[in-house]
Chains A and B, each alone.
Chain A
Amino acid sequence: MSDERLFSLANPWFRVSVGAVAGVVLVSAAVGFVWLPSVQRDPQFQGVWNAICSAAGVPRQWLAGKAIAPSYRISDVQVTPQLLADASAQSIGRGATLSLRCTMCHGEKGMSQANTPNLAGQSAIVVYKQMRDFASGARQNAAMSPMVHGLGDQDLRDLAVYYASLPRPVPVRAVDAPGAPDIVVHGAPMRNVPACAACHGGIDEKAGSPWLDGLPAAYTKAQLLNFANGARHNDTSEQMRNIARNMTRGEIDAAAAWYASITR
């Protein structure tokens, strides 16, 4: 046994095992890379070379014509969790100065009395994205669109980090408190509606999703209705439009009332 050479064509174990493995590879590759893709009739698969490339996963242009552009302007802000993560004290200070123009509606410390959003402690990503969208026209509002006109990108960043630096209104009722509506805590699984609290705080917080604690009910309700009827369309990948469309009027009212009621 000890003088038997293993890595040699004379050894039947070597011949059979290497031959069988190579054979299975070749036959399955011929089927998977040539035969099966060739059955497809689309032009991208015609010819052996095209078949192999498509089966290997080489990126290809699938759509022959041009993509249909939406009839409205879409948001051009790329939201990542790291956006605005490194705010300097200088930037916050500049934002405080610039914020004087916002106080009439959003309050002198970012707390609104006018059915407009509270901005105190709001996520900087959220405030920045909304202002950029007002500036680009992806979101439209008679008051806000002219307000951001003339502000540069750095101004918007400064404003966003300033408002994020202010103390956030503390919710006094958590999502596991009695009376929290099902739509906030659980969503509606069979209608593809996730729990509000899964993104907007309470269960988890996702980049680009605003804190809703203490938001005036009239504002929240108006936004949900606008998402549902498509009047507001600056949400990433239609996330909020798809959610709001599948919510009932009762759920919209309940969610808006709950978030308005949970802060002091």
Chain B
Amino acid sequence: MLNSKRLVLAHFWLAFIVFAVALPLGAWQMLVRSPLHSWLRDPELYYRSVTEHGTVMGYVFPTLIAMGFGYSVAELALKRTLVGVRWAWAGFALIALGAVAASVPVAMGRASVLYTFYPPMIGNVFYYLGVVLVVVGSWIWVALMSVNLAAWKRDNPGKTVPLAMFATVAGAYLWGWTAVGAAIEVIFQILPVALGFKTTIDAGLARVFFSWTLHAIVYFWLMPAYIAYYTIVPRAIGGRLYSDAMARISFILFLVVSMPIGIHHLFADPQVGSGFKFVQSVFTSLVAVPTLLTVFTISASVEIAARLRGGKGAFGWLAALPWENPQMLALAFSFVMLGFGGAGGLINMSYQLDSTVHNTQWITGHFHLIFAGAIVTMYFAIAYDLWPHLTGRALTNWRLMRWQLWLWFVGMIVTTFPWHWVGILGMPRRMAYYDYSDPALAGQAMWVAMSAIGGIILVISAILFFVVLIQGHRAPRTEPGTYRFSTAVHESPSVPVALNGFALWIALMIGLTVVNYGYPIMQLVTRGDTAVPAITIGAQR
């Protein structure tokens, strides 16, 4: 039962439209700084593009996907109409307005501060106001997810919250809390300067606040992908979820340990003590636990599907999987990229090893492999799965979907593997041009050219993605049938109260934030000698 189809479709379409704007910018960036292109005469254009690409891909695109998917889960899993549809539209409007408000100053070259803001650089005030509107719009979604769960619990006392909704609300709470860091930074530190009330800013404190948001935002991006792993893929390939409890534990672990670990982004920053860096490094390593639990559970679920289809042997069952099914293909690609990306992440989170890759292309390669690779592949899969239920028209062109997923996978590998490699060779990130004629860099030229070709493959894949969706809108009307999520092998009538609500986990999340961030923040807030002059970006030419 999906009543708010227009709401969900609006979120997905706006998400994919902004994605279509930002993706070619990324491909252009790869091209102009590769040896395939002469040096840009105006490198500022490059930073404009990086800022827009990051702002859209980091804040607007995944937020809209999480919201649209969340609204559909609330209706499909709870089997009731969404409470607060008008509020949901208001949140959507805020995000649309915010995306435009932020993008215009960026396009004009007035806010080339990158999506990580980087005070003491200060851009045009409308850029920050736009980002704030996006976050406020998403907080409306957080509140609505909470309200809808509470309303369902009130009407269904003692019943087990459906897994899809449980996971969605975990993602909402995670985002609600993790966005607070950047919100504090923008509202209390950056906006007073951008509005002209202040001329100095504590850049170190701003970085600490941003790190609060910066790492867990990745898990917010990741949540829809994980929800799809657990609740869509096993059903779509004709299998069963291996363990419902394991899924709940994974989402809870994300909620608790993924947030207070962002200081691993500040390993090279002098304003945070080494003790806090070590503690957060340890907690970062714990995030591997829910991911490994997920990989195990989903692999087991997939094996169940294969054996139900007659698969035999220790590995022979792999051949029995429905590889023609785009959902199967998406999952496999996503896991491969998650595996490589996760292995690279273990290096980034290690206090000592990180110094060898700090600020190099390795980092860019890492987060593109995880986000643009493992996660966005599942966004495609979610769209393919939901589209017939949103439009009332079938998506039948599996062949084109497979082409699209293959190209995205190949493109992402071709893009990111060379990035990792040149990062190890020492190539810094965020540069508009490199002197490949110098013997020290000449050996990297081929790899950079290769990754630029990967960017072009990704653009082609995105075009196919739009062709699939538009074909869907033009297909004849059909009755898509009842939507259902995966069912577990062993459906238990009840779960422990700890796995049916969030009170304990939110308490641990906030408590751990206070322990891991309290002192570094208070230390910088109370010192009088930490502010530096703000540097206005794009003021004069």
**Chain A residues in the interface with B (C-beta under 8 A):** 1-2, 4-7, 11, 13-14, 17-18, 21, 24-25, 28-29, 31-33, 36-37, 52, 54-58, 80-82, 175-176, 180, 185-186, 188-190, 195, 198, 201-207
**Within the assembled complex, what's the spacing in Å between the Cα atoms of A198 and B540?**
12
**Within the assembled complex, what's the spacing in Å between the Cα atoms of A59 and B39?**
43
B515 CB-CB contact with A under 8 Å = yes
Residues on A with C-beta less than 8 A from B272 are: 57
**Within the assembled complex, what's the spacing in Å between the Cα atoms of A67 and B465?**
62
B158 CB-CB contact with A under 8 Å = yes
**Within the assembled complex, what's the spacing in Å between the Cα atoms of A190 and B433?**
11
A14 interface neighbour in B39, B498, B539, Cβ under 8 Å: B498
Taking the closest CB of chain A, its distance from the CB of B200, in whole angstroms, is 8
Do A56 and B276 touch (CB < 8 A)? yes
Do B279 and A28 touch (CB < 8 A)? yes
**Within the assembled complex, what's the spacing in Å between the Cα atoms of A201 and B496?**
66
Question: Interface code B424-460, partner A: CB below 8 Å = 1, 0 otherwise?
Answer: 0000000101110010110000000000000000000
Do A203 and B283 touch (CB < 8 A)? no
**Within the assembled complex, what's the spacing in Å between the Cα atoms of A189 and B441?**
11
A2-B497, A13-B496, A21-B512 known; A37 and B41 CB under 8 Å? no
Do B435 and A185 touch (CB < 8 A)? no
B155 CB-CB contact with A under 8 Å = no
Do B274 and A36 touch (CB < 8 A)? yes
Do A190 and B497 touch (CB < 8 A)? no
**Chain B residues in the interface with A (C-beta under 8 A):** 39, 41-44, 157-158, 199, 256, 271-279, 282-283, 286, 431, 433-435, 438, 440-441, 494-501, 503-505, 508, 511-512, 515, 519-520, 523, 533-536, 539-541
Do B533 and A13 touch (CB < 8 A)? no
**Within the assembled complex, what's the spacing in Å between the Cα atoms of A24 and B253?**
14
A25 closest partner in B (C-beta): B515
Would you mind naming 18 contact pairs between A and B with Cβ atoms under 8 Å apart?
A: A1-B500, A2-B157, A4-B496, A17-B256, A17-B498, A21-B512, A25-B515, A28-B282, A36-B275, A36-B278, A52-B275, A55-B278, A56-B276, A175-B41, A180-B41, A190-B441, A202-B541, A203-B42
A1 interface neighbour in B275, B494, B520, Cβ under 8 Å: B494
Taking the closest CB of chain B, its distance from the CB of A186, in whole angstroms, is 5
Do B519 and A56 touch (CB < 8 A)? yes
A211 closest partner in B (C-beta): B540
Taking the closest CB of chain A, its distance from the CB of B427, in whole angstroms, is 11
**Within the assembled complex, what's the spacing in Å between the Cα atoms of A222 and B273?**
46
B158 interface neighbour in A1, A24, A37, Cβ under 8 Å: A1
Residues on B with C-beta less than 8 A from A201 are: 540-541
A31 interface neighbour in B278, B504, B512, B540, Cβ under 8 Å: B278
Among B275, B433, B496, residue most surrounded by chain A Cβ atoms (within 10 Å): B275
B441 closest partner in A (C-beta): A190
**Within the assembled complex, what's the spacing in Å between the Cα atoms of A81 and B541?**
14
Do A57 and B520 touch (CB < 8 A)? yes
**Within the assembled complex, what's the spacing in Å between the Cα atoms of A195 and B41?**
10
A29 closest partner in B (C-beta): B279
B503 interface neighbour in A6, A54, A202, A204, Cβ under 8 Å: A6
Do A7 and B275 touch (CB < 8 A)? no
Residues on A with C-beta less than 8 A from B508 are: 17-18, 21
Residues on B with C-beta less than 8 A from A198 are: 43
Taking the closest CB of chain B, its distance from the CB of A24, in whole angstroms, is 7
Starting from the known contacts A33-B279, A203-B43, 12 additional A-B residue pairs (CB-CB under 8 Å) come to: A1-B500, A2-B157, A17-B256, A21-B511, A21-B512, A25-B512, A28-B278, A28-B279, A32-B274, A32-B277, A56-B519, A185-B41
Do A7 and B503 touch (CB < 8 A)? yes
Do A186 and B433 touch (CB < 8 A)? yes
Residues on B with C-beta less than 8 A from A186 are: 39, 433
Taking the closest CB of chain A, its distance from the CB of B6, in whole angstroms, is 37
Do A21 and B273 touch (CB < 8 A)? no
B274 interface neighbour in A1, A57, A81, A206, Cβ under 8 Å: A57
B504 interface neighbour in A2, A13, A52, A58, Cβ under 8 Å: A13
A176 interface neighbour in B41, B495, B505, B539, Cβ under 8 Å: B41
Do B42 and A24 touch (CB < 8 A)? no
A6-B504, A24-B282, A52-B275 known; A204 and B496 CB under 8 Å? no
A198 closest partner in B (C-beta): B43
Taking the closest CB of chain B, its distance from the CB of A17, in whole angstroms, is 6
Do B440 and A81 touch (CB < 8 A)? no
Do B276 and A57 touch (CB < 8 A)? yes
Residues on A with C-beta less than 8 A from B511 are: 21
Residues on A with C-beta less than 8 A from B274 are: 32, 36-37, 54-55, 57
Taking the closest CB of chain A, its distance from the CB of B100, in whole angstroms, is 26
**Within the assembled complex, what's the spacing in Å between the Cα atoms of A180 and B273?**
47
Residues on B with C-beta less than 8 A from A31 are: 278, 282
Residues on A with C-beta less than 8 A from B273 are: 54-58
Taking the closest CB of chain A, its distance from the CB of B27, in whole angstroms, is 23
Do A6 and B440 touch (CB < 8 A)? no
Do A32 and B278 touch (CB < 8 A)? yes
Do B278 and A17 touch (CB < 8 A)? no
Residues on A with C-beta less than 8 A from B441 are: 190
Taking the closest CB of chain A, its distance from the CB of B516, in whole angstroms, is 8
Do A80 and B497 touch (CB < 8 A)? no
B435 interface neighbour in A18, A190, A207, Cβ under 8 Å: A190
Do A80 and B498 touch (CB < 8 A)? no
Do A81 and B535 touch (CB < 8 A)? yes
Do A6 and B279 touch (CB < 8 A)? no
Residues on B with C-beta less than 8 A from A5 are: 497
Residues on B with C-beta less than 8 A from A203 are: 42-44, 541
Do B279 and A32 touch (CB < 8 A)? yes
A6 interface neighbour in B271, B495, B498, B540, Cβ under 8 Å: B498
**Within the assembled complex, what's the spacing in Å between the Cα atoms of A54 and B275?**
8
B283 interface neighbour in A18, A28, A36, A81, Cβ under 8 Å: A28
A1-B500, A56-B273 known; A204 and B541 CB under 8 Å? yes
Do A189 and B435 touch (CB < 8 A)? yes
Do B435 and A188 touch (CB < 8 A)? yes
Residues on B with C-beta less than 8 A from A189 are: 431, 433-435
B160 closest partner in A (C-beta): A1
Taking the closest CB of chain A, its distance from the CB of B523, in whole angstroms, is 6
**Within the assembled complex, what's the spacing in Å between the Cα atoms of A92 and B382?**
65
Do A6 and B501 touch (CB < 8 A)? yes
A57-B276, A176-B42 known; A205 and B540 CB under 8 Å? yes
Residues on A with C-beta less than 8 A from B279 are: 25, 28-29, 32-33
Do A81 and B42 touch (CB < 8 A)? no
A202 closest partner in B (C-beta): B541
Taking the closest CB of chain A, its distance from the CB of B107, in whole angstroms, is 17
